[in-house]
Structure formats: C-alpha cells, structure tokens
C-alpha cells in the first residue's frame, strides 16, 4: 500500500503545525527547547511513523521475510528520552528545572506519531490538552497553593538590567519581610538566579500570585517562580 502524496503532505504539515502550537508556549517562557525544537520533534516522529507504516509495504508478507515495521515507530518513544534528558537541569539540591519541558517533548513525539498514523482527532485533542496544561494549570496551581509550603521566590534576571536594590525596593513597597537573598550565576551567560527566603511570620501576609506579577514587571526579570518547602 502506497500513501498518496496529498495525504503524506497533510500528515507532515499537521505535525509541523501541532508541534508549533506546543513549542510556542515553551518559547514564550524562553526555554532551550522552544518553537523549532518542538516542531522538529513532531515532524520527525510523524515521518518515522509513516516510514514504519508504509515504507516496508513491498516486502511485508512475502515468503522469506519476517519483519515487524512497528518496531521503527516504537523506538521514538524510548529515543526521545535522550533529548528530554538534555532539557533537565539539576541546579542544586531541591532545585530541578526542565522536567515539564522534557515531558512536553515526549508528548509532542506522541502527537507526531499520531499525525503520521492519520489520527488527526487524537493528535489535535492532545495538542489542545498539552497547551492547557502548560499555559493554564500552573497559574491555578500557584493561586491555590498551600501557603504553609511556600517559603519564598526564585527569580531569573538579566545581570546588567536588574540590581539587588531594585528587588529589595519592590519587596519593601509590598511590605514583604525577607530573611535572606542569595544570587548565583545561571546557566545562561548574561543571567543570574536570585533566591529570596521570607521570614516565617511573613508567609500569611503575602499573596504569592500578586507578588510574582509585581516582580515580573521589573525590567530585566525573565521569570519568577515559588520556592517551596
């Protein structure tokens, strides 16, 4: 069985589009695995699925040939783990970054396989679900978080744009009492990572979401996340 050219192009184009939808959300947050990476993963997985399903049609079933073409596509599931591992950063004890991006890459590979197999509904629904999980769940998670587990903030900022004084002024203006502020170089050359530990009696008086939005508005601040116990 030969896949018609039009259908072949539709499947590959669908993979590019759906991969871009997920990749755009990651690119917006300036992760290393962004728009192009997700598009390439989805496209590559779709092509491998097509090759697996149709590339061996001429020999499958013939006497003397014992092939299982599905093994080709199956290797995507395990092979994508190497790429996902490259997005995970162990900054220090209790601080691990990139797990969500790695999981997203793995899911995008599955979306590509679905596109390659012509399962457009499954691929489209999964893409929408992934986008909702990445873009909408985290704010809800932060808003309804248990404040007893909240102990401060982690800020990724541009070294030349933001000074410690800017951050301290923002904290004082919002009546946030902090115990300690530490700054360490981030993996990117021009970025630093700042950890703000709040005083124990300050937890109940701080709205985490409101403070995150305040810090994000400062020029040069790339990302603000919560420090948890």
Which secondary-structure segment (H or E) carries 212? helix 208-216
Which pLDDT does position 8 carry in this prediction?
A: 93
Task: Give per-residue pLDDT as tens, 69-87.
Answer: 677 788 888 888 777 676 6
Which pLDDT does position 208 carry in this prediction?
A: 76
Residue tagged 């013939």 (tokens): 62
The pTM (predicted TM-score) of the whole model is: 0.63
Give yes or no for a contact between 191 and 156, defined as CB atoms under 8 angstroms apart: yes
- Backbone CA torsion sign across 140, 227, 104, 17: positive
Between 127 and 84, whose confidence is greater?
A: 127
Give yes or no for a contact between 180 and 198, defined as CB atoms under 8 angstroms apart: no
What percent of the chain has a predicted confidence (pLDDT) above 90? 23
Residue tagged 């008086």 (tokens): 205
Listed in order, strand segments (DSSP E) in the chain are 89-92, 95-97, 150-158, 178-185, 191-198, 221-228
Strands 191-198 and 150-158: antiparallel
Q: Where are the domains of the chain?
A: 5-143, 147-228
Cα–Cα distance, 110 to 123 (Å, whole number): 8
Which pLDDT does position 141 carry in this prediction?
A: 67
Distance from chain centroid for Cα 115:
21
Task: Give per-residue pLDDT as tens, 19-63.
Answer: 999 988 877 766 667 789 899 999 999 999 998 888 776 666 666
Using the predicted structure, report yes or no on whether residue 150 has a pLDDT greater than 90.
no
Give the number of C-alpha atoms closer than 13 A to the C-alpha of residue 221, restricted to the C-beta side: 20
Q: Among 2.60.120.10, 3.40.190.10, 3.30.70.260, 3.50.50.60, what is the CATH number of 147-228?
A: 3.30.70.260
β-strand partners of 182:
195
Using the predicted structure, report yes or no on whether residue 102 has a pLDDT greater than 80.
yes
143 band by pLDDT with thresholds 50, 70 and 90: low
What is the residue-averaged pLDDT of the chain? 80
Give yes or no for a contact between 129 and 189, defined as CB atoms under 8 angstroms apart: no
Which pLDDT does position 182 carry in this prediction?
A: 81
């Amino acid at each position: 069985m030969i896949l018609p050219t039009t259908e072949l192009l539709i499947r590959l184009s669908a993979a590019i589009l759906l991969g871009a939808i997920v990749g755009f959300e990651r690119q917006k947050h300036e992760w290393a695995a962004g728009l192009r990476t997700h598009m390439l993963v989805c496209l590559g997985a779709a092509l491998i699925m097509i090759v697996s399903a149709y590339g061996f049609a001429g020999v499958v079933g013939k006497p003397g040939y014992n092939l299982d073409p599905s093994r080709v596509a199956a290797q995507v599931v395990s092979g994508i783990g190497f790429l996902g591992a490259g997005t995970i950063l162990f900054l220090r004890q209790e601080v691990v970054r990139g797990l969500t991006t790695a999981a997203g890459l793995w899911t995008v590979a599955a979306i590509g396989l679905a596109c390659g197999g012509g399962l457009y509904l499954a691929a489209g629904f999964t893409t929408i679900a992934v986008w909702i999980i990445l873009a909408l769940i985290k704010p809800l998670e932060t808003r309804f978080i248990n404040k007893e587990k909240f102990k401060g903030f982690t800020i990724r900022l541009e070294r030349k744009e933001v000074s410690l004084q800017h951050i301290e002024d923002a904290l004082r203006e919002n009546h946030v009492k902090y115990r300690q502020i530490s700054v360490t170089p981030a993996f990117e050359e021009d970025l630093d990572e700042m950890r703000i530990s709040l005083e124990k009696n300050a937890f109940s008086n701080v709205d985490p979401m409101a403070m995150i939005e305040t810090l994000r508005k400062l020029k040069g601040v790339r990302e603000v996340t919560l420090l948890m116990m």
